[in-house]
Chain A
């Protein structure tokens, strides 16, 4: 099993920097998600690791070795593509055995390993079918078996679940994770679906304009985003802007909000008079019909109510800003639009972000 490292990777296309100085280490055996909007560089990085993209500057190291001059077919990687890229003129068995055959493995060994690989993805019995006779989910599994049978050092996934419908996606996510853990292979995957990134990854990195904005464990990145972009890209967030009015013991700052009202939260290096932008996740807010406004409690009016089965989304006018609130439907019934309400939260849930 292997580590992959990228140092200072730069790749330009004309005047656009697809990668603008990316440094990252992927640990042995971890499932790492590269997340970001289209064109943010995540796919370019993946393809640079695979060898399809040559960096203008920087290095790709696999197990400590610089693979810059090594062609794709010699890097011993496994890759899954967005549309599976199965060989249409070969059967399932031939697809899976391809990597072993071009390496010249003996026939009995190939047959045995193909059998094991197909059993691992639970596709035994379909060896002679052609790809176009398989369903999307089955083709996905064949692609996985084909990539893993050669025992590559690292598995690279390029939006592999993009073409599947919702149920199949979730089923495949579970399968993918199970197999990855079983095999223990270092896996890097690209997705623009943040929910998928959160559920599958051991660690994630958020890309924007060729740079990594933030990386870490999913929960850490979600609960403590460092920029407005990161907060807004992963899930939803309310952004409250204000000025520090006082600093108290324990780095607790008192902030007067532009929309009116007062909040308190922990600020490192807070200065009185400083302008700050705070992010607040919608599910961290408590809704009360009527009640007292005060510190970390703002008065507002319900604009819009959207019922989604197990939760309800409220849009609430607070001052001249609209705030969003997710509420788990612990009891039946929702608060009607037009109701005067008080939103409150714990100061621990306010996160300072850079704009």
Chain B
């Protein structure tokens, strides 16, 4: 298969180009002076300056970050606890519980978002940041459970027993052995949770009342109305933040710490 590998590799590079070209174009045009995306290219930071003055976008940005942080704390805590239960115990209903992690991921977010809209209306939770937070955590939980669970699967159980034989109480064992070994997985899960929340559009779209939005929802509105390169600027920032978070995840989850 001499020709084969070369072709496959070329194809891979083309795929990467396909994935990145639009993003690169968008980032570059955010630094272009023309408000109509007209060439020739003139470097200018005008749109980033405009961004600073755009109160709506900044508010939306603050909401997004705030929700993402709270979401991360909640989802990581509950998700890690559940992952621990799955890794440590065998019980009836375990398989069902694990299967129930699929719907949030597999059902179209459109369906979930509208369902939440209906249900929250009925139990009198108003649309708003709290409702959005509820939705984000629900979507983040399966990811955290899977990521931490994968880390737990490679966790050498015997070390906890060894610690016990050496005289460590369960609390000492957790503090000195379990927690340090779990840390990379939990951090990976947390970063996933942050990325899921920060990028989430559909749920936020349905649960956001007029006037209070998250960044993606705000951008959507701006695009529908007709856009300026300010969108490019904020989008570039979003991409940098999300990709940064993901790179951090990769470092902790794959390469960092002990394997």
A272 at the interface (CB under 8 A from B): no
A78 touches B257 (CB 8 A): no
Q: A89-B258, A98-B176, A132-B258 are in contact. Are A83 and B168 (CB under 8 A)?
A: no
How far, in angstroms, from A89 to B155 measured CA to CA in the complex?
A: 12
Q: How far is the CB of B53 from chain A (nearest CB, A)?
A: 49
A79 at the interface (CB under 8 A from B): yes
B177 at the interface (CB under 8 A from A): yes
A85 touches B161 (CB 8 A): yes
B167 at the interface (CB under 8 A from A): yes
A78 touches B159 (CB 8 A): no
Partner pick for A103 among B156, B165, B167, CB 8 A cutoff: B167
Q: A85-B158, A88-B181 are in contact. Are A73 and B176 (CB under 8 A)?
A: no
B257 touches A77 (CB 8 A): no
B167 touches A85 (CB 8 A): no
How far, in angstroms, from A78 to B68 measured CA to CA in the complex?
A: 47
B161 touches A98 (CB 8 A): no
Partner pick for B165 among A78, A82, A89, CB 8 A cutoff: A78
Q: How far is the CB of A156 from chain B (nearest CB, A)?
A: 8
CB-CB nearest in chain A for B177: A87
* 0 or 1 for each of A67-92: is its CB under 8 Å from B? (1 = yes): 00001111111110111011111000
B258 touches A150 (CB 8 A): no
A146 touches B257 (CB 8 A): no
CB-CB nearest in chain B for A99: B166
B167 touches A89 (CB 8 A): no
A212 at the interface (CB under 8 A from B): no
How far, in angstroms, from A89 to B178 measured CA to CA in the complex?
A: 10
How far, in angstroms, from A88 to B184 measured CA to CA in the complex?
A: 13
Q: Kindly list chain A residues whose C-beta atoms are within 8 Å of the C-beta of B162.
A: 79, 81, 85-87, 143, 146
B167 touches A81 (CB 8 A): no
Q: How far is the CB of A109 from chain B (nearest CB, A)?
A: 15
B163 at the interface (CB under 8 A from A): yes
Q: Kindly list chain A residues whose C-beta atoms are within 8 Å of the C-beta of B166.
A: 73, 78, 98-99, 102, 146-147, 150
Q: How far is the CB of B168 from chain A (nearest CB, A)?
A: 4
B243 at the interface (CB under 8 A from A): no
A72 touches B156 (CB 8 A): no
B167 touches A76 (CB 8 A): yes
How far, in angstroms, from A89 to B258 measured CA to CA in the complex?
A: 7
B244 at the interface (CB under 8 A from A): no
How far, in angstroms, from A164 to B193 measured CA to CA in the complex?
A: 42
B156 touches A85 (CB 8 A): yes
Q: Kindly list chain B residues whose C-beta atoms are within 8 Å of the C-beta of A103.
A: 167
* 0 or 1 for each of B166-183: is its CB under 8 Å from A? (1 = yes): 111110110011001100
CB-CB nearest in chain B for A104: B167
B164 at the interface (CB under 8 A from A): yes
A73 touches B258 (CB 8 A): no
A79 touches B167 (CB 8 A): no
A307 at the interface (CB under 8 A from B): no
B180 touches A102 (CB 8 A): no
B156 touches A73 (CB 8 A): no
Q: Kindly list chain A residues whose C-beta atoms are within 8 Å of the C-beta of B165.
A: 50, 72-73, 75, 77-79, 147, 156
A79 touches B161 (CB 8 A): yes
* 0 or 1 for each of B138-169: is its CB under 8 Å from A? (1 = yes): 00000000000000000010110111111111
B window 225-259: CB within 8 A of A: 257-258
CB-CB nearest in chain A for B165: A79
How far, in angstroms, from A157 to B165 measured CA to CA in the complex?
A: 12
CB-CB nearest in chain B for A82: B158
CB-CB nearest in chain B for A156: B165
A102 touches B156 (CB 8 A): no
How far, in angstroms, from A203 to B47 measured CA to CA in the complex?
A: 84
How far, in angstroms, from A174 to B240 measured CA to CA in the complex?
A: 60
Q: Kindly list chain B residues whose C-beta atoms are within 8 Å of the C-beta of A76.
A: 167
Q: Kindly list chain B residues whose C-beta atoms are within 8 Å of the C-beta of A51.
A: 164
Interface centre among A51, A72, A81, A156, by most chain B C-beta atoms within 10 angstroms, is A72
How far, in angstroms, from A72 to B177 measured CA to CA in the complex?
A: 16
A72 touches B164 (CB 8 A): yes
Q: How far is the CB of A91 from chain B (nearest CB, A)?
A: 12
Q: How far is the CB of A28 from chain B (nearest CB, A)?
A: 20
Q: A81-B158, A102-B172 are in contact. Are A88 and B164 (CB under 8 A)?
A: no
How far, in angstroms, from A143 to B176 measured CA to CA in the complex?
A: 17
CB-CB nearest in chain B for A146: B166
Q: How far is the CB of A31 from chain B (nearest CB, A)?
A: 19
Q: Kindly list chain A residues whose C-beta atoms are within 8 Å of the C-beta of B173.
A: 73
B159 touches A73 (CB 8 A): no
How far, in angstroms, from A81 to B177 measured CA to CA in the complex?
A: 16
Q: Kindly list chain A residues whose C-beta atoms are within 8 Å of the C-beta of B164.
A: 51-52, 71-73
How far, in angstroms, from A79 to B159 measured CA to CA in the complex?
A: 11
How far, in angstroms, from A143 to B161 measured CA to CA in the complex?
A: 13
Partner pick for A102 among B158, B161, B168, B257, CB 8 A cutoff: B168
Q: How far is the CB of A217 from chain B (nearest CB, A)?
A: 29
B167 touches A88 (CB 8 A): no
Binding site for A on B (CB under 8 A): 156, 158-159, 161-170, 172-173, 176-177, 180-181, 257-258
Selected A-B contacts with CB under 8 Å, 24 pairs: A71-B164, A73-B164, A73-B166, A74-B167, A76-B167, A78-B165, A81-B161, A83-B156, A85-B161, A85-B162, A87-B163, A88-B156, A88-B159, A88-B258, A89-B258, A98-B163, A98-B176, A99-B166, A102-B167, A102-B172, A103-B167, A146-B162, A150-B167, A156-B165
Identify the 3 closest CB pairs spanning chains A and B, nearest first: A99-B166, A85-B158, A79-B165
| Given A73-B169, A146-B162, 12 further pairs, Cβ under 8 A | A51-B164, A71-B164, A73-B166, A79-B161, A81-B162, A85-B156, A85-B159, A102-B166, A102-B168, A147-B166, A150-B166, A156-B165
